[in-house]
A and B are shown apart, each in its own frame.
Chain A
Amino acid sequence: MPFMNAEFSGRDRWMAKLVLSPTILAATFFIYGFILWTIWLSLTRSTILPSNHFVGLANYYDLFGSSRWWRSLSNLGIFGGLYVVISVGLGLGLAILLDQRVKAERLYQVVFLYPMALSAVVTGVAWRWLLDPGFGIQAIVRSMGFPHFAFAWIDDPDMAIYTVVIAAVWQTTGFMMAIFLAGLRGVSPEIVKAAQIDGASTGRIYLRVILPSLAPTFFVALVLSVGLAIKSFGLIIALTGGGPGYSTNVPSIFMYVFSFQRGEMGVGAASALMMLVIMMIFVLPFLYLDSRRQA
């Protein structure tokens, strides 16, 4: 009976909307609403408690007048730039190596990727130990007969940010490898075979045929690693605590310290918004290109 059918499906459609509605409300309020709320807070004289006293862009003047914020931004640039290039490069290299019909490929994959299952805090604690000048790599190399070997970056305000790069690369290179390996496995064997028949060397085939066809994979790896760099927080807290001094502060740490430790909520909100802006600058072009690719 068509009439009954329509009745039923009408009730079911209503049910579908009802079941989805909590998520719609949550996304609207807790994502979009909270972004607007944070923007509003950044325009008010909020300190330990939120206030609705409008102060215009005063918090932004404070933020960009703060040498600690500039240090946080430049650290993110140094750390993010090096981390993205090294982890994507190493990840691609490992994926290519594993793509050579390697025995025990699964085992290598498990070993390269396990740091991704650890928390950033555990990773930070492990590397803090390895980088400790008195016990870690410096002490090991010295005990092997190089008494003047020096590797105390973690205690050096000018070098400590590079220890963050090391630990972050260690944690996520396997992730990049997994992405590239999936990409490599998707390259059509026909085009590779055609190039082989033409007598191209393995190196040339990778450079001229395979890597160009991985452009979308590169894009994904870049966007994901940029995102991971901007969001890095627990790793740096556990590894250096943002120090020595504030030499390894990044925007995520700046935001936390100003919002929840120093009671400068307005400035903290402004810094949070800047983090969102930085993220969008790197992600929106990707979303745009991706939507064009699918259209």
Chain B
Amino acid sequence: MRTSSAFGPRRWLIYGLLTVAAVFFLLPFYVMLVTAFKTMPEIYSTGILALPDSLNFSAWIHAWSAATIGAASEGIHGYFLNSFILVIPAVIISTAIGAFNGYILTHWRFRGSNIFFYMLLLGTIIPFQIVLLPMAWVEGRIGIAGTLVPGLMMVHVIYGLAFTTLFFRNYYVGIPHDLIKAARVDGAGFFSIFFRIMLPVSTPIIMVTAIWQFTMIWNNFLFGVVFTQGGQQPVTVAINDLVDTVTSVHMWNVDMAAAIFAALPTLLVYLIAGKYFVRGLTAGAVKG
């Protein structure tokens, strides 16, 4: 809403409050970043706010390739790689299935398909604690317990489907059904309509869904800590282990460097494609 345009006290107040808020949100990341560039003696002598004397990369290198996590002292690089090995197939599979589901639930409806959609939505609400124990048993039974792929990946695909289906369904419902009808009169079938009519207009929703899934799975901790062990763990679980590992001197600089490594992929995605990220966040929330 538009108020006065003169830069009076009112404007100063608005910018003042926004700046205070910006400092509050930026401060933790700033402190992490400068801490990661310092040595521990430097942190003791200059505190956590001061800029580092020099750009010292030793904490980064230690966090990446030498820090002790669990039984091994090889840093987080393996776990970082684990998260990619997990996330890439999980995102592709859950997004692809969600796209077909959304297509069917909007343009190939059948008796009960709407009821099924509402039943599926429960999957976006439940606290996942309610499924952990049976899932652990099932994974044990089929012999994939504790594995990153396919064990943990399968969990993320299954419990991502409600979200991906919701996204595509809400997007495809806006595509005129007459288009599909016309294509069917022309003899196009189920798959050719999907690939020739739906897919070419789906770039925005594929971006939204893939970024949402990437962020959710990369950042997830609960499934990772329950369903993987040792060297199979994703990076979030490794970070927590690293910080919790009791050593003679707590290496805060290494902890911070490791945490920033773990944060980088989702942070980069956010900075590059923020608009899709925000759309995903508000997609279920603010529907048309």
Chain A residues within 8 Å of B, Cβ to Cβ: 5, 8-9, 11-13, 15-17, 19-20, 22-24, 26-27, 30-35, 37-38, 41, 50, 90, 93-94, 97-102, 108-123, 125-130, 132, 135-136, 139-140, 143, 170, 173-175, 178-179, 182-184, 186, 192, 202, 205-206, 210, 217, 220-221, 224, 227, 230-231, 233-234, 237-238, 241, 251-252, 255-256, 259-260, 265, 268-269, 271-273, 275-276, 279, 283
Contact = CB atoms under 8 A, between A and B. Distances in A.
Given A125-B255, A234-B222, A276-B127, A119 B263 contact: yes
B158 A26 contact: yes
- Enumerate the 10 nearest inter-chain pairs by beta-carbon distance, A residue then B residue, closest first: A234-B221, A119-B219, A16-B108, A117-B270, A272-B129, A12-B190, A37-B134, A34-B131, A34-B134, A126-B28
Which interface class (under 10, 10 to 19, 20 to 34, 35 or more) fits B?
Answer: 35 or more
B201 interface: no
B100 A30 contact: no
A139 B165 contact: no
Interface in B1-57: 1-3, 5, 14-15, 17-18, 21-22, 24-29, 31-32, 35, 43, 47-49
Nearest to B27: A130
Contacts of A108: 18, 21-22
Q: Which of B119, B165, B256, B263 neighbours the largest number of chain A CB atoms within 10 Å of its CB?
A: B263
B187 A20 contact: no
B43 A38 contact: no
B35 A38 contact: no
A202 B161 contact: no
A121 B240 contact: yes
Contact of B108 (A12, A109, A114): A12
Interface in B245-263: 252, 255-256, 259-260, 262-263
Which of the listed residues A38, A183, A186 has the most CB atoms from chain B within 10 Å of its own CB? Answer: A38
B168 to A, nearest CB: 12
A273 B131 CA distance: 10
A126 B219 contact: no
A176 to B, nearest CB: 10
B255 A35 contact: no
B213 interface: no
Given A19-B190, A115-B25, 13 more contacts: A9-B184, A33-B134, A110-B271, A122-B219, A125-B243, A129-B32, A129-B256, A179-B282, A192-B1, A202-B1, A206-B1, A260-B136, A276-B130
Given A23-B161, A27-B123, A125 B259 contact: yes
Nearest to A260: B226
Contacts of B262: 119, 121-122
Contacts of B243: 125, 128, 238
Nearest to B255: A125
Contact of B14 (A11, A102, A126, A251): A102
Contacts of B17: 93, 97
B231 to A, nearest CB: 18
B126 interface: yes
A83 B191 CA distance: 47
A122 B239 contact: yes
Contact of B259 (A8, A41, A122): A122
A269 B136 CA distance: 13
Contact of B15 (A50, A102, A182, A186): A102
B47 A139 contact: yes
Nearest to B185: A5
B47 A143 contact: yes
B104 interface: yes
Contacts of B21: 90, 94, 108, 112
Interface stretch (B69-77, B145-153, B273-281): B273-281
